[in-house]
Amino acid sequence: MSATILDGRKVSREIEEEIKSEVDALKAKNKKAPHLAAILVGDDGASQTYVNNKIKACKRVGFEYTLLNFPTTISESKLMTEIERINADEDIDGLIVQLPLPDHISASKVTDRILPHKDVDGFTNENYGRITSKHPGLLPATPFGIVELLKRYKVDIKGKHCVMVGNSRTVGAPMSSIMAYHENATVTVCHIHTVDLAHYTKQADILIVATGKPALITGDMVKEGVAVVDVGITRIPTEDNERGYILSGDVNFEEVEKKASFITPVPGGVGPMTIASLLMNTLKAATTKSTITTEI
Ligand SMILES: NC(=O)C1=CN([C@@H]2O[C@H](COP(=O)(O)OP(=O)(O)OC[C@H]3O[C@@H](n4cnc5c(N)ncnc54)[C@H](OP(=O)(O)O)[C@@H]3O)[C@@H](O)[C@H]2O)C=CC1
Ligand SMILES: Nc1nc(=O)c2c([nH]1)NC[C@@H]1CN(c3ccc(C(=O)N[C@@H](CCC(=O)O)C(=O)O)cc3)C=[N+]21
Ligand SMILES: [Mg+2]
């Protein structure tokens, strides 16, 4: 069997076209464009790339954007003050604080200071809790993007066995909740303490991997016909190209692709979908303001 590629780059461009026409319609009515603010602390190369990709996407769809770059030495309280300032700024609809943050700053404290209706990453406790509500708020961007990608390729989810490898607050944990609660999959969550990971991954109809461990999932760990979503993205240093690194997902693509029915590539899979979801959330935040309810 040869797998269908879940082309996140292509689908994200389709979503961007949809968003752009909504932005054009807003502007035609003399309403302001949605405005995203991004906070980047420090000068980590990968974080800069991801934030730049987000800004470029804002430009493509006609959003306004503000990028605030602070030195690694910024104090937690100064960062909190900046967040309060943006919370109070009527002109800004969405705010993201790029992770990871330096060790002296608590990511959970900082993230939770963002007003829930401006939290377009869906990282606050309020938005996280509202995943399991009939009226969700802003959904976490990466899980939201993954569900959107699976749906646009008509991958069956309801009643299927979804195995989630990784249990982080930003990807694995909300992903498993959305699959179980909203999409009615049967869900197994695996993590670093799971004994015999392959025992579980072999049972997956849908396998979602977010560990940051390059090529963790090999061909012998999956069954024929599985749909595979590879969230992982790790820079591996190399002297063979100009950039000085290659990107690796958490899945051994060559091996797993031979058995899968669907599979996401890295790059060009989940990454662009995360950005598309961020844009969707920002549009929603701009048009619904404080009383957000997302019907999914
Ligand atoms: N493409 C995109 O849009 C995005 C990509 N990413 C990428 O996805 C990856 C994961 O990100 P994130 O969730 O934030 O990472 P975290 O490090 O926060 O979480 C990783 C999770 O995987 C688990 N884990 C680690 N090693 C293993 C293993 N060998 N077997 C089973 N489970 C394991 C960890 O367990 P424990 O907590 O117990 O250690 C944890 O639950 C990274 O490569 C990141 O760059 C992340 C966000 C968006
Ligand atoms: N507050 C916050 N929100 C996030 O959404 C967030 C974060 N912090 N911290 C880090 C992770 C990672 N992440 C990615 C986004 C885009 C790509 C992306 O654009 N990837 C391209 C390639 C990028 C490249 O060339 O390196 C692709 O997969 O095709 C990847 C990863 C968002 N995250
Ligand atoms: Mg962890």
Residue-wise DSSP of 189-209: EE-TT-SSHHHHHTT-SEEEE
The pLDDT of residue 293: 53
Residue 203 among the catalytic residues:
no
**Superfamily covering domain 141-267:** NAD(P)-binding Rossmann-like Domain (3.40.50.720)
Query: Which two structure tokens, joined as six digits, stand for 99?
Result: 């992770």
Q: Which pTM was predicted? A: 0.96
Q: Is 296 a residue whose pLDDT tops 80? A: no
Name the token pair of 91. 């002109």
Q: What strand order describes the sheet that includes 4-5? A: 4-5, 262-263, 227-230, 206-209, 161-165, 186-190
Query: Mean of the pLDDT values across residues 97-102?
Result: 98
Q: Which of 98, 119, 250, 259 is catalytic?
A: 98
CATH 1.10.101.10 fits 32-133+273-287, yes or no: no
Distance, in Å, from the CA atom of 22 to the CA atom of 231, rounded to the nearest integer, reads 29
- Mean pLDDT to the nearest integer, 156-166: 98
Vertex 149: Cα angle to 147 and 151 (nearest 5): 70
Between CA 116 and CA 126 the distance in angstroms is 6
User: Would you state the pLDDT for residue 2?
Assistant: 83
Whether 110 and 103 have beta carbons less than 8 Å apart is answered as no
CA angle 96, 102, 107 (to 5 degrees): 45
Atom of ligand 2 nearest to the CA of 235: 26
Across the chain, mean pLDDT equals 96
Ligand lying nearest the CA atom of residue 47: 2
Q: Taking a C-beta distance cutoff of 8 angstroms, is the pair 55, 37 a contact?
A: no
| pLDDT of 134 above 90 | no
30-75 residue pLDDT tens: 999 999 999 999 999 999 999 999 999 999 999 999 999 999 999 9
pLDDT at 30: 95
pLDDT of residue 295: 55
pLDDT grade, residue 21 (50/70/90)?
Answer: very high
| Catalytic choice (54, 118, 259, 284) | 54
CATH 3.40.50.10860 range(s) for the chain read 32-133+273-287
269 token code pair: 């899979």
In this structure, the number of other CB atoms found within 10 A of the CB of residue 242 comes to: 4
Q: Is the pLDDT of residue 103 over 80?
A: yes
Ligand 1 touching residue 168 (CB < 6 A): yes
pLDDT tens digits for range 171-204: 999 999 999 999 999 999 999 999 999 999 999 9
Residue 120: count of CB within 10 angstroms of its CB: 29
Share of the chain above pLDDT 90, in %: 96
In the annotation, is 7 catalytic? no
Query: What pLDDT, in 10s, does the model give residues 77-92?
Result: 999 999 999 999 999 9
Phi and psi torsions of 282, nearest 5°:
-70, -40
Phi, psi of 237 (to 5 degrees): -60, 140
Whether residue 294 is predicted with pLDDT greater than 80 in this model: the reply is no
Measure 60 CA to ligand 1 centroid, in angstroms: 29
Token pair listed for 280? 């969707």
Residues of the chain with CATH 3.40.50.720: 141-267
Cβ 249 under 6 angstroms from ligand 2: no
For the ranges 149-153, 206-210, 286-290, which has the lowest average pLDDT? 286-290
pLDDT on residue 1: 63
Q: Active site includes 160? A: no
Mean pLDDT computed over 15-24: 98
